[in-house]
Amino acid sequence: MKIAFLAGDVGNISGGANVIIEYAWRLRALGHEVVLVTHRPVRISSPPWHPRLPELRFQTFTEAARERFDFVFATWWLTWFDLWRLDSAVYGYLNQSLESRFRPEGHLKHLNRITYSLPLLFVTEARWLAEFIRTVQPAGQVLYVRNGLSREHFPCVEAPAPRTGPLRVLVEGPWGIDFKGVAETFALLEEARPRVDLEVGWLSSSSGGQVPVVGGQPVRVHERIPIDRVREVYQRYDVMLKLSRVEGMFGPPLEMFSQGGTAITYTVTGSDEYMVHGENALLVPPHDRRQLPRYLEVLSASPAYLDRLRAAALRTARAFPDWETSIGQFDSELRRLHGEGLRNEHLRPALTAMATMKEHWLDEVRHVAEVSLDAGPGERLLLERYRKLKQNPGIEAVKRLVPDSLKHSVRAFFTRRLE
């Protein structure tokens, strides 16, 4: 079968990109014709952060629009509004989280919720999200496919490494994204440091140039580590401290489990997929964050308790499905649906209308922001005429003929000149 995934920036490290890559290369290995469709060419670093990246086939929307697909999947909420661009028998959404929680702006939250307005084929990694989708879109089909644990990149260790010296704590997450809670995590570690002997590291896809200090000592930064070397970082630490407040089903604690560590996290959505408080990890409600320094004290002062958590975490990782099993399940479901003749191509006009509505809505939001500026009558008149010009049917027709890559290049050129 011909399968397309509409992707954002898979050339840079992220958990969401890793999931897309695992789906794409494993489906390709099972005999499907798979393509990742992006607005801009994907730049793959050397060496690539994921070793399977160079094996994948990429197309622009202009190229992919010439083909007919059996399945086309959006992979994050903005790509949902691009589904109409491709010709497919089935339109779907590989939905990894409730992404309306990613941004505070009300208009973006409303736009995101629209992605559940049509009865597409939904695929998701978390039970809670599957239940949410079935509630808000009962006419859609929902496949619950757990993210696998890569035995290639995270083979389970034989036993947790013995702890010697200070409690070794690994913070995980990028700098500058508020809901990831990284700055908050370092502040809590600083609070705990007078009572706990700590060795702190930070695994990050982007540090933003920051080198946090805990107890007067700079933390050890592990930045942009290729996925096939991340386990080497995990093995240096006893516990992962990950305080993100928004997740679908997060992977790093499970990966940490496979290397003999445990984790402290918030009771975030998706944590119940494999984490059990007091058995293989410690979970804290976000409103009770003052418990966190106390938990660090307990783990530091009670080596036997830490060992029990780590041993149970390793058993959890060993029992968890691998990616081969998960994508095998997904492959079987796709073949079943294809054999049963599933089609929802009649939704393409509605998808087109939704994409048009999104652009008009964002134009209105921008217009409100522009007229609220401290601009004179002449500037406001120019802004209003520019807005009306963009909505001219002739201009709209020309925009549809221009490749997206060229639009992005022209926009970037003028933005640089006007800065």
Q: So what's the pLDDT on residue 45?
A: 84
Query: Exposed, middle or buried, 12 (CB in 10 Å: 0-12/13-18/19+)?
Result: middle
| Geometric angle at alpha carbon 383, from 381 and 387, rounded to 5° | 115
Q: CA-to-CA distance for 25 and 54, rounded, in angstroms? A: 10
What type of residue sits at position 146?
A: R
Q: CA-to-CA distance for 346 and 93, rounded, in angstroms? A: 16
What is the helix (H) or strand (E) element at residue 142, kind and residue range? strand 141-144
Enter the pTM of the model: 0.85
Per-domain residue ranges of the chain = 2-148+323-347, 167-319, 373-418
Taken in order 7, 8, 13, 16, the sign of the CA dihedral is negative
Q: CA-to-CA distance for 237 and 350, rounded, in angstroms? A: 50
Same fold across 2-148+323-347 and 167-319: yes
Q: So what's the pLDDT on residue 97?
A: 87
pLDDT (tens, 9 = 90+) of the chain, 419 residues, equals 999 999 988 988 899 999 999 999 999 999 999 999 999 888 888 889 999 999 999 999 999 999 999 999 999 889 999 999 999 999 999 999 887 777 777 777 888 888 999 999 999 999 999 999 999 999 999 999 999 999 999 999 999 988 889 999 999 999 999 989 999 999 999 999 999 999 999 999 999 999 999 999 999 999 999 999 999 999 999 999 999 988 888 899 999 999 999 999 999 988 999 999 999 999 999 888 889 999 999 999 999 999 999 999 999 999 999 999 999 999 999 999 999 999 999 999 999 999 998 887 676 666 555 555 555 555 555 556 656 666 666 666 666 666 665 655 555 554 444 44
Q: So what's the pLDDT on residue 164?
A: 84
**5 closest CA partner among 63, 58, 45, 48:** 58
What type of residue sits at position 23?
A: Y
What type of residue sits at position 275?
A: M
- Candidates 3.30.420.10, 3.10.20.30, 3.40.50.2000, 3.40.50.970; CATH matching 167-319: 3.40.50.2000
* Partner residues linked to 71 by β-bridges: 3, 90
**DSSP label of 163:** P
Q: Is 103 left (phi over 0), alpha (psi -120 to 50) or beta?
A: beta
DSSP string of 50-62, one letter each residue: STTGGGS-EEEHH
Q: So what's the pLDDT on residue 417?
A: 45
The answer for residues whose C-beta is within 8 angstroms of residue 373's C-beta and 6 or more apart is none
The CATH class that applies to domain 2-148+323-347 reads alpha beta
| Geometric angle at alpha carbon 195, from 192 and 199, rounded to 5° | 65
Taken in order 105, 248, 186, 220, the sign of the CA dihedral is negative
Q: So what's the pLDDT on residue 418?
A: 42
**DSSP label of 209:** T
What type of residue sits at position 12?
A: N
